[in-house]
Amino acid sequence: MAEPIFAFHPIGVIHTPFLRPAGTPIQARATRERGTIGIFPRFAEGLTDLEGFSHIYLIYVLDQMVEPGLKVTPFLDGKEHGVFATRAPKRPNPIGLSIVHLLKVEGTHLEFEGADMLDGTPLLDIKPYVPDFDHFTPTRIGWYEQRLLGGAASRVADDRFEKRGT
């Protein structure tokens, strides 16, 4: 059976203060850094009523990350894990996901808090965060349970997932 191939096209561009992975916050919830999004004009109508939500999902391309791998050592652990058991950016499909605090929608310009992506990141989609659908109380959190005391608060990335020679 042949694997299907999908093509995605950005709906806009995310702008943040971060130019390279090292020094970038590792999770949106762990930072108050601000960012902006420029939505391409042909998608402007899709922003109707978005300002009524306090939080949104940003789905984007990790276009500046290293080649994919199936085993990674995540930022919050010193041991290797399967990539699907981590949030590391070194993924078979370079897709990023962040829940951010939406501050303002003005035309095709969005402002948000929780920037944990690089400047110039291509945005694929936006979805509203809806607590009735999106909030769960986990009963297991795998290897991360051992990391709770250190947590992701105010943690930033090192250079382990940067492209070399660029």
| The dihedral sign for the CA sequence 113, 115, 120, 122 | negative
Amino acid identity for residue 40 in this structure: F
Q: What is the pLDDT of residues 74-133, one digit of tens each?
A: 887 888 999 999 888 889 999 999 999 999 999 999 999 999 999 999 999 999 999 999
For 38, counting Cβ atoms within 10 Å of its Cβ (0-12 exposed, 13-18 middle, 19+ buried), the class is middle
Q: What is the 3-state secondary structure (H, E, C) of 99-154?
A: EEEEEEEECCEEEEECCCCCCCEEEEEEEECCHHHHCCCCCCCHHHHHHCCCCCCC
| The dihedral sign for the CA sequence 82, 84, 90, 91 | positive
Q: What is the pLDDT of residues 44-78, one digit of tens each?
A: 999 999 999 999 999 999 998 778 889 998 887 88
CATH number of 12-132+139-147: 2.40.30.70
CB 40 within 8 A of CB 11: yes
Q: Any idea where the domains of the chain sit in the sequence?
A: 12-132+139-147
Q: Tell me how far apart the alpha carbons of residues 30 and 128 are, in angstroms, rounded to a whole number.
A: 19
Instruction: Indicate the average pLDDT of the chain.
Output: 88
- Asked whether residue 165 carries a pLDDT value surpassing 70, the answer given is no
Residue found by looking up tokens 């998608």 in the block: 43
- Asked whether residue 149 carries a pLDDT value surpassing 50, the answer given is no
Report DSSP state, residue 15.
E
